[in-house]
Chain A
Amino acid sequence: MMSQATLQPARAMDNPACRAIVGDMRHDADILIVGGGLNGPCLALACAQAGLSSIVIDALPAQAQMGADFDGRSYALALASVRMLGALGLWEGLRDHAQPIHQIKASDGRAGEGAAPFFLHFDSAELEEGPMGHMMEDRHLRRAVQEAMAQNPLITHRPGATVVAQSSEGAARVTLDTGEIVTGAILIGADGRKSGTAARAGIKRTGWDYGQTALVCAIAHEKPHEGIAHQFFMPPGPLAILPLPGNRSSIVWSETHADARRLMAGSDAEFLDHLRPRFGDFLGEISLAGRRYSYPLNLTIANAFIADRLALVGDAAHGVHPIAGQGLNLGLRDVGALAEVLADATRRGEDIAAPDVLARYQSWRRFDTAALALATDGVNRLFSNDNPALRLIRDIGMGAVSAVPALRRAFMREAAGLTGDVPRLLQGRAL
């Protein structure tokens, strides 16, 4: 993509008229982002703050994205993610739709027996920063990022477009299913755990299956939840009850693949009949409020987060077990880190596509990701088990965490995303 003008005698650059051709004009945009979910658009919005333009290539057609009805999907946003949405200018419009999580109660339980008495209790009152997280329905978050993208002059949204080929020679270049070719300085794969962007770049993945499927739905219940999230650790897998606005909660219920298949195949009434004994009656009568979803639980980590002119964010880099609701939070941390690396490089005059610039993002995020993936995996293995010895260990361990306020606060700060080398955006600061 060497332009004719750059081959002119070098002295000519002292002529101001020649300066206009330098830099940006060589690509359609600075950044090509594949994936129009949440991480991709948030990255585009963050990079726009640093003056970087992007094209968001989104497989979903435009009309499929703005569905206003609640479909049962929601997120547990860690405090750091909320701060980042604030720094991106999205939180003001979302605040009224959010349900703060004031307390988290975790307990050990066995199906049919209901939950044992709470033995791990986290209360936001102990954390000076306020609620450790907020529940947010997918539809509100999605609409907020779509609207912000549409209003941003540095972002071009390309809904209903699929990438069929990509290359990195001299520029990041993708070929769309329409035959159109778009170019940028770098290409970002924000296209989920089956990332085609990673596969086309030859990045292999490491992962394993948990033998479990997560059943996800929203329920309406008789009694108020008081902003309390519950996690029941059951032998087949954990059951999380997360408070939504009003008398509704989001359920993440993990079962073995076979049991989950049976539960999904059954009617709504049969589904609720199986849920009730696990759930207990502390929220009164329950009913479904939206569709039911099932996700096989597997952990998949890309062997590299970067390649030539390419970086991966979110599930494309790492799909973790959603046991602690950390999938989106981890993705937003990637977005915050990558945007910061690119913004800092831009302000230094570095080439954002230089391998050492992209390497800074990888070394920042890879350790964090591996640590969380292993910790999440460890927690799941420890709790998804009926072995009496393991039960004893976790009783003692949780008792210790519960008894020591400093330890409890440390856990809460970790869950809120306030620990480690936190990107500026996730501290709520401007890029």
Chain B
Amino acid sequence: MAEVNQTVDSGEIAKFEAMAAEWWDPNGKFKPLHMLNPTRLDYITRQIAAEFGRDLKAQKPFEGLRILDIGCGGGLLSEPMARLGATVVGADAAPRNIPVAQIHAEQSGLTIDYRHTTAEALAAAGEQFDVVLNMEVVEHVADPLAYLTACQQLLKPGGLMICSTINRNPKSFLMAIIGAEYVMRWLPKGTHEWQKFITPDELYELIRQAGLDPVDRKGFVFNKLLWRWSISDWDLSVNYVTASVKRG
């Protein structure tokens, strides 16, 4: 999408700028994602640092790492990874997200390679990454095993995949669908189909079948008293995240 600025007219750019502002407004349409983001980033950055022996207190600790952000949206994960020094490709199946994310990255002084494509297409093209970020995507795909296999193919030997999704049980149905979509109106109705939710054990099994070794899983827990998310070692009952490596 390198030629975005040459091929779209200025009215379109104004629209994309407005959409970028919407994506990045912590109190706007994507508020739930903004609230979860620091906790997701804590998990992601610590896992990458541990796997590749990087010191998060150093300047640009992810220098030299090539990271793929699948379902990048407005770039809420891609930009932090680029700021930490990584070379980032952001992929999204929704074409309009690409110029939106591109414009915001330019406003932030960051260079990120945003592409309208899918994991499967990137794998078919032979692209390789040190890290694949696969956050809140797997519950939306038609064939999770085929998708995770594509993610495995995208990893270099020794590479790391971070995959988060939503558990399937009565509590997650209440919290993620009734709570987030109907009561809090955090997400548009119909965002999630409960049947597509995956339990942590099922996900571990799918990851193994795809050819990766799952090495860690944690819960993302929302504390209603403090009104913020945190990482839990034991409570994976609704939102959870996993780390898997490709043995070299």
Residues of A within 8 A of B (CB): 1-3, 5-14, 18-19, 21-23, 26, 50-51, 170, 344-345, 347-351, 354-356, 359
* Given known A19-B85, A22-B82, contact A12–B111 (CB-CB < 8 A): yes
Residues of A within 8 A of B37 (CB): 350
Contact check, B111 vs A10: say whether CB atoms are below 8 A apart: yes
B35 to chain A, nearest CB (A): 8
CA distance A7 to B82 in the complex (A): 16
A10 touches B2 (CB 8 A): yes
Give the residues in chain A near B81, CB-CB below 8 Å.
Answer: 349
Q: What residues of B have a CB within 8 angstroms of the CB of A3 in the complex?
A: 109
B108 contacts chain A at the CB level, 8 A cutoff: yes
Q: Is the CB of B3 within 8 A of A2?
A: no
* B44 nearest in chain A by CB position: A348
Q: A69 to B109: give the CA distance in the assembly, Å.
A: 48
A51:B59 contact, CB within 8 angstroms:
yes
Decide if A13 touches B106 in the complex (CB within 8 Å).
Answer: no
- Smallest CB gap from A12: residue in B: B111
Contact among B2, B3, B84 with A349 in the assembled complex (CB-CB below 8 Å): B84
Cβ–Cβ contact A7 & B5, under 8 A? yes
Q: Which 10 A-B pairs have the closest CB atoms?
A: A349-B80, A9-B2, A356-B26, A13-B111, A348-B41, A349-B84, A349-B83, A347-B56, A10-B113, A26-B109
Interface size for chain B: under 10, 10 to 19, 20 to 34, or 35 or more residues?
35 or more
- Given the interface pairs A11-B2, A356-B26, the reply to whether A347 lies near B111 with Cβ below 8 Å is no
B223: interface (CB < 8 Å): no
Interface residues of B in 78-95 (CB under 8 A from A): 79-85, 87-88
Interface residues in B106-163 by Cβ distance below 8 A to A read 106-114
Check B41 against A349 for contact (C-beta < 8 Å).
yes
Question: Across the two chains, which residue of chain B brings its CB closest to A431?
Answer: B57
Query: Which residues does chain A contribute within 8 Å of B109, judged by CB atoms?
Result: 1-3, 6, 22-23, 26
Cβ contact within 8 Å between A355 and B26: yes
The dominant DSSP class at the A interface is: helix
Nearest A residue to B5, CB-CB: A7
Q: Which residue of B lies closest to A352 (CB)?
A: B83
Given A348-B45, A359-B26, the answer on whether A11 and B107 have CB atoms closer than 8 Å is no
| Nearest residue, chain A, Cβ from B84 | A349
Cβ contacts under 8 Å, A7 to chain B: 5, 106
Chain A residue nearest to B88 (CB atoms) is: A13
Choice from B1, B45, B88, B108 contacting A347 with Cβ under 8 Å: B45
Beyond A13-B111, A14-B87, A51-B57, whether A349 also contacts B26 by CB under 8 A is: no
Checking A10, A12, A349 against B79 with a beta-carbon cut-off of 8 angstroms, the contacting residue is A349
Give every chain B residue within 8 A of A351 (Cβ-Cβ). Answer: 79, 83, 108
Taking the nearest CB of chain B, how far is it from the CB of A293, in angstroms?
42
11 contacts between A and B (CB under 8 A): A3-B109, A6-B105, A6-B106, A7-B5, A13-B87, A13-B112, A13-B113, A348-B38, A350-B41, A354-B26, A355-B26
Q: Which of A1, A22, A344, A345 contacts B111 (CB 8 A)?
A: A22
**A-contacting residues of B (Cβ < 8 Å)?**
1-3, 5, 24, 26, 34, 37-38, 41-42, 45, 56-60, 63, 79-85, 87-88, 102, 105-114
Given known contacts A349-B41, A349-B45, what 12 new A-B pairs fall within 8 Å (CB)?
Answer: A9-B3, A21-B111, A22-B83, A51-B57, A347-B56, A349-B79, A349-B80, A349-B81, A349-B82, A349-B84, A351-B79, A355-B26
Chain A residues with CB below 8 A from B56, complex form? 347
B85 contacts A10, C-beta separation under 8 Å: no
Closest to B102 in A: A10
Q: What is the minimal beta-carbon distance from A28 to any residue of chain B, in angstroms?
A: 14
The docked-state distance in angstroms from the alpha carbon of A12 to that of B111 is 8
State how many angstroms separate the Cβ of B237 from the closest Cβ of chain A. Answer: 25
Q: How far is the CA of A90 from the CA of B63 in the complex (A)?
A: 33
Among A19, A347, A349, the most chain B Cβ lie within 10 Å of the Cβ of A349
Nearest CB of A to B191, in Å: 21
B38 in complex: contacting residue of A9, A350, A355, CB < 8 Å: A350
Q: Which residues of B contact A14 (CB under 8 A)?
A: 87, 113
Considering the chains assembled together, what is the distance between the CA atoms of A170 and B37 in angstroms? 23
Please, which residue of chain B has its CB at the minimum distance from the CB of A49? Answer: B57
Known: A51-B57, A350-B41, A350-B80. Is A18-B111 also a contact (CB below 8 A)?
Answer: yes
CB contacts (< 8 Å) of A355 on chain B: these are 26
- Taking CB atoms, residues of chain B closer than 8 Å to A347 are 45, 56-57
Q: In the complex, A236→B110 CA distance in Å?
A: 60
Q: How far is the CA of A6 from the CA of B4 in the complex (A)?
A: 13
Residue of A nearest to B38 (CB): A348
Residue from the list B85, B106, B114 in contact with A2, Cβ < 8 A: B106
Q: Give A355 to B31 CA distance when docked, in angstroms.
A: 12
Cβ 8 A contact of B114, one of A8, A10, A21, A50? A10
Residues of B within 8 A of A345 (CB): 38
